[in-house]
Amino acid sequence: MFWRKQKAAIAGFPPLHQALIHERGFTATQPADAWTALAASLGRHNELVRRSKWALPPRTLDVLVPLILEVCSDVGRTGMLTVTADLRGPEALGKTSPSRNLAVRPPVRSAVETWTIDPWLRLHAELRDGSVLDILVVDRARTRRVTKRNPRGKTKVKRKIKQVQIIKVRRRLPKDGTSARPAGPPPRWITVQVREGRRRSVLAAAKIDRLPRSAEEQLDRILTVTTEPFRWTPQTTAGGAR
Q: What is the pLDDT of residues 123-159, one digit of tens each?
A: 999 999 999 999 999 999 999 999 998 888 788 999 9
Residue 229: pLDDT over 80: yes
Residue 196: pLDDT over 90: no
Residue 239: pLDDT over 80: no
Interatomic CA distance for residues 117 and 23, integer angstroms: 19
pLDDT of residue 235: 61
Interatomic CA distance for residues 96 and 238, integer angstroms: 39
Interatomic CA distance for residues 40 and 150, integer angstroms: 59
Q: Is the CB of residue 82 less than 8 Å from the CB of residue 43? A: no
Q: Is the CB of residue 237 less than 8 Å from the CB of residue 174? A: yes
- In one-letter notation, the amino acid at residue 67 is L
| DSSP reduced 3-state for 67 | helix
pLDDT band for 14, please (50, 70, 90 cuts).
very high
pTM over 0.95: no
Interatomic CA distance for residues 114 and 146, integer angstroms: 12
Q: Give me the mean pLDDT over the 85-101 stretch.
A: 96
Using a 10 angstrom Cβ sphere, with 0-12 exposed, 13-18 middle and 19 or more buried, the burial of residue 75 is buried
| DSSP reduced 3-state for 142 | strand
